[in-house]
Amino acid sequence: MAARVLTCAAACLWANVACTQDYPIKPIRMLIPSPPAGGTDTLGRLIRDGLQEMWGQTVVVDNRGGASGRIAAAATAKANPDGYTLLFTYGGVLTTGLPLFRTLPYDPIKDFAPVAMAAHVPNILVAHPTFAPKTVNEIIKLAKAKPGALTHGTSSIGSSSHLSMVLFKQIAGIDMLQVSYPGDGPALIALLGGHVPFAINNAVAAMPHIQSGRLRAIAVSAPQRIPTLPDVPTMVESGLTGYEALLFYSLVAPAKTPPAVINKLYQAVTQIKQKPNVQQQFARLGAVNFDMTPQELGVFLQRDLDKWTKVIQAAGIQPE
């Protein structure tokens, strides 16, 4: 009996190894939690194109927008963990904004197998040219002189721009009046029009206006300065110790996807990101290559979720 069990186990193990070596042998479905043409979709399709070219196998993009990305994430979490269903997602679907929801149709950590970090897009603290402060310290000094009087713009509650500013205020120990807008576009328009003096916005949206002089960059949220703004300091360099707010993009699979398949996908994504055309597209979008192994990505996701949970709780923001 024991010999039969061992034989069956060996056969299953061999079948798994054989399947992994042959992977992929059929089309792969890549879910993207946003409509076509956005930043997540654009970056996801770069990875899709690279996988198709590398493996000669079709990778079908399935755009599932709505419910702050939770529809696509839930569909991925429930899919067969065989490597043929993947989720290319922005960070809010797995970490940043999730503490704002009382219930979720998936567990952001337990229901997914991390594959690869693709890139991050830094947020930038930007101001209208008429705004007097030129540095983070000058903003903090003005805010402390007039508690609650200084206004700033932000996108919708729970967005990257909103929570990045919440973190800014917590670390700086200041109170400012928040003016919220229904999305990054309206928030940027209000800033350009001088209706609010400053805000935090992502590099993709803000960069053209910084280059044209319609906005002034004060600091970036990334751990290092970004190549497109080499003279603009980071938040940490500006005195906000511990500040980091990354709008990131990553590839994950359903939990229990075979480790060998995960590793094959990770190696493929790493190679794709080294291609000159992909690097050019990243630069055009303001995206910065951000390498992490599946294990490192798993640690990062848990840490990022814990961080934003504490930020949201400390700010007294109530879940929906």
DSSP string, 75-103: HHHTS-SSSSEEEEEEGGGTSTTGGG-S-
Select from 243, 221, 202, 250 the least CA-distant residue to 94.
250
Any idea which of 16-20, 33-37, 55-59, 225-229 has the lowest mean pLDDT? Answer: 16-20
Structure tokens of 282?
A: 């990243």
17 shares its domain with 116: yes
* Cβ-based neighbours of 295, under 8 Å, separated by 6 or more: 114
105 shares its domain with 168: no
In a domain, 241, yes or no: no
Q: With H, G, I as helix, E, B as strand and everything else as coil, classify residue 156.
A: coil
Structure tokens of 32?
A: 């993207």
pLDDT 10s digits, 236-272: 999 999 998 888 999 999 999 999 999 999 999 999 9
Amino acid (1-letter code) at residue 279: Q
Residue 15 scores a pLDDT above 60: no
The CATH number linked to 50 is: 3.40.190.150
The CATH number linked to 201 is: 3.40.190.10
Structural domain for 155, as ranges: 122-220
Task: Name the DSSP letter for residue 291.
Answer: -
70 shares its domain with 103: yes
Per-position DSSP letters for 233-250, written without gaps between them: PBTTTTT-TT---EEEEE
Whole-structure pTM value:
0.82
191 shares its domain with 275: no
pLDDT 10s digits, 147-171: 999 999 988 777 888 899 999 999 9
Please say whether the beta carbons of 125 and 200 come within 8 A.
yes
Q: With H, G, I as helix, E, B as strand and everything else as coil, classify residue 293.
A: coil
18 shares its domain with 73: yes
Number of domains comprising the chain: 2
In a domain, 18, yes or no: yes
In a domain, 239, yes or no: no
23 shares its domain with 169: no
Structure tokens of 198?
A: 């400053």
